[in-house]
Amino acid sequence: MSNVFLFSYICLFLIVVINSYMTITIYRKALIRKSKDYLHENERGIPNNTVFPILNFRTLDEKAFNIVDLDKKGTIVLFTSITCDACKSLYPTLNTFVKKHKHINFLLLIASDSITNVKQMLSEYDLNDVPTSHLSAKDASILESSIYPFGYYLKPDGTVNYKGVVNKGDLELLLRLGFLEAS
């Protein structure tokens, strides 16, 4: 009878050790995810170290916007869609972000079937001071834009330096990672 108890204690000990190992492994993975130093989907879109396919845009207020600007430290191009709920959570933070980072160019490209809808949305979120352009289906195809919200950090010469899905709070991360990759 004592052999059965000894065997059961050994089995119980092994179960506890395996369970502890699995718990520690899961906890470590959760910590790694929490200390996020990357943007999701950063393999999508225009490849890094490639010149952005369109360098000149016309904003909705009919101003010319050139991505190549050697006087700035780079450009953030943010792709959003009028129907994207995640994008709507970003809009309230954009004015503050653009004003805080004057050393960076910023361009908001909004996909929609109607420029009128884009202008209404800009008014709704008070984004009239944020350089914005309408993203047509043709331009979305050229710019390999199929996921929203998606952001690019471009070097001053218009070369893609970092990119990925940008959710609320990720604009600072995009900026930081873009600077890190540039240095």
Question: Is the sign of the CA dihedral 131, 165, 76, 45 positive or negative?
Answer: negative
Whether 145 and 134 have beta carbons less than 8 Å apart is answered as: no
Q: Residues 52-76: what's their mean pLDDT?
A: 94
Q: Residues 108-132: what's their mean pLDDT?
A: 93
Q: What is the pLDDT of residue 117?
A: 93
Phi, psi of 159 (to 5 degrees): -85, 135
Whether 136 and 115 have beta carbons less than 8 Å apart is answered as: no
Distance CA 42, CA 160 (A): 11
Whether 182 and 155 have beta carbons less than 8 Å apart is answered as: yes
Per mean pLDDT, which range of 14-18, 32-36, 172-176, 179-183 is the poorest? 32-36
* Model confidence pLDDT, tens digit, residues 146-163: 899 999 999 999 999 999
Q: Residues 106-113: what's their mean pLDDT?
A: 95
3-class SS at 109?
A: strand
Whether 91 and 129 have beta carbons less than 8 Å apart is answered as: no
Give Cβ neighbours of residue 95 (< 8 Å, ≥ 6 apart): 126, 127, 129, 130
Distance CA 11, CA 18 (A): 11
pTM of this prediction? 0.78
Give Cβ neighbours of residue 89 (< 8 Å, ≥ 6 apart): 167, 168
Q: What is the pLDDT of residue 133?
A: 95
State both tokens at 129: 């001071």
Q: What is the pLDDT of residue 183?
A: 53
Distance CA 160, CA 150 (A): 13
Q: What is the pLDDT of residue 51?
A: 96
Query: Prior bond to 156 cis, omega within 30?
Result: no
